[in-house]
Amino acid sequence: MKSIVTIIMVVALIIVANTVIIRSITTGTEKLTEESYDLKDKILDENWEEAEEDFDSIESEWHDKRSCWEMIVNHAEFTDIERFLLQLQTAIEIKNSDDCLRSIAELISHLKSLKYRYEFTAGNIF
């Protein structure tokens, strides 16, 4: 009986934790991706003041998410995303739209891959 209770508890814990984690990663990355697309529009319009505000919002959002995800996401992922954020910040400061667009593209690509990596799919299992 004790063994069966342990089995049920471990399996239930894993299923619940998995649901919460996937939801957090999916909504978090989708929100950041959406904000990155908005930032891209501002940069294409060369609206640098609003671009800077959008960037600050993305950065603060990212730091919130990072502290939640640290226990589950491989830390190498954080290093990559933070490198693109830093490149993007510098490009906005010097108002270089080419570098901005390149960094945004790489940031979006990493956020999407992060989302797909933690999804419950056959591709991820095999």
Q: Which residues contact other proteins (rule: CB under 8 A)?
A: 3-4, 6-7, 10-11, 13-15, 17-18, 21, 70-76, 118, 120-121, 124-125
Closest CA to 74 of 100, 101, 110: 110
Q: Is residue 73 classed as helix, strand or coil in its secondary structure?
A: coil
* Choice between 35 and 77, CB closer to other proteins: 77
Residue 71 makes CB contacts below 8 A (sequence gap 6+) with none
* Choice between 5 and 94, CB closer to other proteins: 5
Half-sphere exposure in the Cβ direction for 74 (13 Å, CA): 9
* Choice between 10 and 105, CB closer to other proteins: 10
What's the min distance (Å) between Cβ of 114 and other proteins? 13
* Choice between 95 and 112, CB closer to other proteins: 112
What's the min distance (Å) between Cβ of 49 and other proteins? 37
Cα angle: 68, vertex 81, 50; to 5 degrees: 95
What's the min distance (Å) between Cβ of 74 and other proteins? 6
What's the min distance (Å) between Cβ of 123 and other proteins? 10
Copy the structure tokens of residue 64. 């919130």
CB 29 within 8 A of CB 114: yes
